[in-house]
Structure 1
């Protein structure tokens, strides 16, 4: 009930209240990742992440795609819940509509959080990724939504996937609890 009340207050107040999220991670990596959401750069995307976090939608969602030297992807609230069949993890989103791109000049440096999407630039929904290293080929093509301010050691410890696509085999690391910070 408290999560629903917080989500409704966030929706009513707009994105200015949600300045970040804290992600508790368990698995090969254990600890807390703190992310500052960039409401001034990507207001719709920052609000979406904060809304889903406040609703508890990210709790129990796995890091399904992790590519060493590139990024760790999570946030599939539809198919990425721990304990479910992981074959479809990464193919879903939330029940909310996709978002229009909010591209910026912020470079994809280490610790930057970007919104995952399909080939359509206006298809970001709930999934996001955290950069292990700079990859400037993403600049201007994917919405930058935030930056890790604490816990890069936790990000660095996330279980890596296999192959070019980085699919995590076996038991993936999971976001056990995601909370909104102000």
Structure 2
């Protein structure tokens, strides 16, 4: 699949510019609280991407397998996927997330991880949620924690996918590779954990695609809305997600809304912009912890 794909939304189009970066070597160390900390950096920061416009910056062009019903089929049958652990996998100290200590987690319990090491490639997602229950996610970023309410009733497939990947440490050490002022903060590309692959950031996925849930009644009508990124077709969702920095209602009905920020919008607002004037290096997403209502 092509790395950049022009996508038209409400008369607006955007072709993502590929970022460049010199070769660097970065070392991360697992901390007692389960987060990954940057402990060594042997190279200089690269140049950030520049925006070609302000349209569908949430588009995702992936290297995943052709769109199919693999993800939903796996969820429906309960068939376990065939994961491939990446060479840079990091083994956590425990299989259960540490408590966050935030009031937003009152009445919620941590969901144990499914894997001990980071896994970034699957043939499909596994059914891991009960849509009748309430799920929350805590993103531990370099700038602080962000608590997300996941709407499993309105978007059960997207929420199940996000939870499944998070429970396999898929998002650990990735970056918010695309943050556009007044628009969105996007992450979820497994390649963004590797500085040597910066030219391909924004094109990666989990190895499968699944269909969007665009008619669930939820809208991108405010800051803090959590949505799924995709390429041109509605069945091209994978692992990439974004959080709105401002209302973006023109995306409603075209991209899946599957949650919203409960606390930490100030952290999202403070993420380093990667496009436009003053662009800097993307911030780390250390880990994602999943919680379910008791």
Please state which band the TM-score falls in when normalised by the shorter chain.
0.7 to 0.9
C-alpha contact (below 8 Å) 1:18/1:50 kept by paired residues: no
- Indicate yes or no: 2:79 matched with 1:6: no
C-alpha contact (below 8 Å) 2:128/2:163 kept by paired residues: no
Q: Distance in 1 between matches of 2:209 and 2:224?
A: 24
1:89 counterpart residue number: 201
Tell me which of the two structures has the higher relative contact order, counting C-alpha pairs closer than 8 angstroms and 6 or more residues apart: 1
RMSD (CA atoms)? 2.4
* Mean CA deviation greater in 136-145 or 83-92: 83-92
Q: Which runs of 5+ in 2 are unaligned?
A: 1-93, 97-111, 116-124
In the TM superposition, residue 178 of structure 1 has moved relative to its aligned partner by: 0.9
1:115 counterpart residue number: 228
C-alpha contact (below 8 Å) 1:18/1:47 kept by paired residues: no
Which digits, 9 at most, give the CA deviation of each residue in 1:15-74, with x for residues without a partner?
A: 446602100111xxx110001111001101101111111111101010011110000000
Q: Distance in 1 between matches of 2:173 and 2:128?
A: 27
Q: 1:13 to 1:82 in 2, by over 3 A?
A: closer
C-alpha contact (below 8 Å) 1:15/1:44 kept by paired residues: no
C-alpha contact (below 8 Å) 1:82/1:174 kept by paired residues: no
Q: Which runs of 5+ in 1 are unaligned?
A: none
1:74 counterpart residue number: 187
1:155 counterpart residue number: 268
Q: How many residues align?
A: 173
Q: 1:20 to 1:82 in 2, by over 3 A?
A: farther
More helix by share: 1
